């Protein structure tokens, strides 16, 4: 669990630097909030449900549940926070690359990653309904 938190912090710091470097700083706070919500959803699901990872038993395989990919979910939540902005396509493609890497390196299978992306879209939509503005430009 500590490794997950450290990984999230490093990932968030990298996104901050990258987002600022391409001039998309205006949406950064919202992106980090959405990414944090995605991390909380991931933690909640992984603590309550279990699904074995494809790499189970390998030396580098994480010990937690593979039910969903936290990397795929949080990166998609970050990308979706830029929906209706010019940076969305770039962050969406990066999120798909992150998602593919989880399958390529054997940490998750296609169903687990697809489940993660679907949860991210549903969570984004739910946040939009609850806040009355996640889908608005800006």
Residue 33 lies in a domain: yes
Q: What residues contact residue 103 under an 8 Å CB cut-off, 6+ apart? A: 109, 110, 113
Residue 136 lies in a domain: no
Question: Domain residues for 119?
Answer: 2-131
**Is the pLDDT assigned to residue 79 strictly greater than 90?**
yes
Site of tokens 């700083």: 25
Residue 57 lies in a domain: yes
pTM of the full structure: 0.80
Higher confidence at residue 8 or residue 118?
Answer: 118
Residue 48 lies in a domain: yes
Number of domains the chain contains:
1
Distance of alpha carbon 51 from alpha carbon 102, whole angstroms = 15
- pLDDT tens digit string along 15-69? 666 666 666 666 777 888 888 889 889 989 998 999 999 988 888 888 888 999 9
| Backbone φ, ψ for residue 12 (5° rounding) | -65, -40
At residue 94, the pLDDT reads: 93
Distance of alpha carbon 104 from alpha carbon 87, whole angstroms = 26
Q: Per-residue b/e over 70-106, b at no fewer than 16 CB within 10 Å?
A: bbbbbbbbbbbbbbeeebbebbbebbbebbebbbeee
């Amino acid at each position: 669990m500590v490794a997950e938190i450290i990984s999230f912090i490093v990932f968030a710091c990298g996104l901050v630097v990258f987002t600022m470097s391409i001039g998309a700083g205006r949406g950064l706070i919202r992106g980090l909030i959405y990414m944090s919500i995605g991390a909380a959803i991931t933690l909640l699901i992984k603590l309550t449900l279990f699904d074995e990872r494809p790499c189970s038993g390998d030396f580098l395989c994480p010990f937690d549940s593979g039910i969903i990919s936290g990397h795929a979910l949080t990166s998609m939540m970050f990308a979706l926070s830029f929906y209706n902005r010019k940076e969305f396509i770039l962050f969406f493609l990066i999120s798909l690359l992150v998602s593919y890497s989880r399958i390529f390196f054997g940490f998750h299978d296609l169903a687990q990653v697809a489940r993660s992306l679907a949860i991210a879209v549903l969570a984004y939509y739910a946040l939009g309904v609850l806040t009355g503005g996640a889908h608005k430009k800006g």
